[in-house]
């Protein structure tokens, strides 16, 4: 799963006017991957680039105990929810943020070859849908386009920034599926991942700054769009 991880962020932003900012939710949706890229750069977690490892992904993610174990993901989710709770003083926003982070493990479990653990042990899990393009490609597109449509229907504002975000998401996903394999140098892979996440987060900030929830009225609506 790549751009599908951002589907829960779009859905959470659409659910409630009290949800964290869209860019914050986008960070949360890929928080454990941000951690994986950073930990990979310093050797705490590891990946091998093996073309043909699965039909749609060359990533042999053989050591990810701190970010992609279920317990590890839960810790990241609780910390993220705590930060939102302290910053927003809103339990609903904190719960939404934590669930968005936790959704990462569930979505990865669907598509990864068995490389996810419960707590960093030897037993590994993953349904391996990356080996079934005819299932996972429609699944990822439905998740993203469906959540994007839901977000657009629940919010108001200019449509241009949102469709730029959607276009970039789909373009990145198409490149991931059909483009050349990543460099066999893991350092380049980790840096590229961080750059891609940064670009998407900045676009999400642009979208979130120009749209507002339909339930917001009066002073809650940015003056430029009233």
Residues 153-193: tens digit of each pLDDT:
999 999 999 999 999 999 999 999 999 988 899 999 999 99
Of 145, 116, 125, whose CA–CA distance to 6 is shortest? 145
The rounded distance, in Å, linking the Cα atoms of 145 and 160 is 16
Q: How confident is the model at residue 226 (pLDDT cuts 50, 70, 90)?
A: very low
The rounded distance, in Å, linking the Cα atoms of 142 and 224 is 33
What percent of the chain has pLDDT above 70? 96
Structure pTM? 0.93
Average pLDDT over residues 207-225: 72
Q: How confident is the model at residue 224 (pLDDT cuts 50, 70, 90)?
A: very low
pLDDT of residue 181: 84
Residues 41-55: tens digit of each pLDDT:
999 999 999 999 999
The mean pLDDT value of the chain amounts to 94
Average pLDDT over residues 83-104: 96
Of 109, 110, 144, 150, whose CA–CA distance to 19 is shortest? 150
Query: Over 80: is that where the pLDDT of 221 sits?
Result: no
pLDDT of residue 218: 54
Query: Over 80: is that where the pLDDT of 223 sits?
Result: no
Q: How confident is the model at residue 215 (pLDDT cuts 50, 70, 90)?
A: confident
Residues 64-78: tens digit of each pLDDT:
999 999 999 999 999
The rounded distance, in Å, linking the Cα atoms of 213 and 64 is 37
Average pLDDT over residues 29-39: 98
Query: Over 90: is that where the pLDDT of 130 sits?
Result: yes
Q: How confident is the model at residue 222 (pLDDT cuts 50, 70, 90)?
A: low
């Amino acid at each position: 799963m790549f751009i599908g991880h951002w589907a829960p962020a779009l859905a959470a932003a659409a659910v409630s006017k009290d949800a964290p900012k869209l860019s914050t939710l986008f960070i949360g949706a890929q928080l454990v991957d941000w951690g994986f890229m950073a930990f990979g750069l310093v050797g705490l977690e590891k990946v091998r680039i093996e073309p043909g490892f699965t039909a749609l992904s060359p990533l042999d993610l053989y050591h990810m105990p701190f970010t992609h174990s279920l317990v590890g993901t839960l810790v990241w989710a609780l910390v993220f929810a705590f930060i939102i709770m302290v910053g927003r003083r809103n339990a609903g926003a904190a719960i939404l943020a934590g669930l968005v982070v936790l959704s990462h493990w569930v979505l990865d479990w669907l598509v990864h070859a068995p490389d996810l653990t419960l707590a960093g042990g030897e037993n590994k899990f993953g349904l391996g849908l990356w080996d079934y393009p005819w299932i996972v490609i429609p699944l990822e597109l439905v998740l993203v386009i469906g959540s994007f449509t839901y977000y657009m229907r629940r919010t108001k504002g200019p449509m241009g920034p949102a469709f730029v975000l959607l276009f970039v998401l789909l373009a990145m996903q198409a490149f991931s599926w059909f483009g050349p394999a990543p460099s066999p140098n893991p350092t380049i892979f980790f840096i590229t991942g961080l750059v891609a996440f940064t670009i998407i987060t900045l676009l999400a900030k642009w979208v979130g700054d120009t749209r507002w929830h339909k339930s917001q009225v009066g002073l809650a609506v940015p003056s430029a769009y009233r």
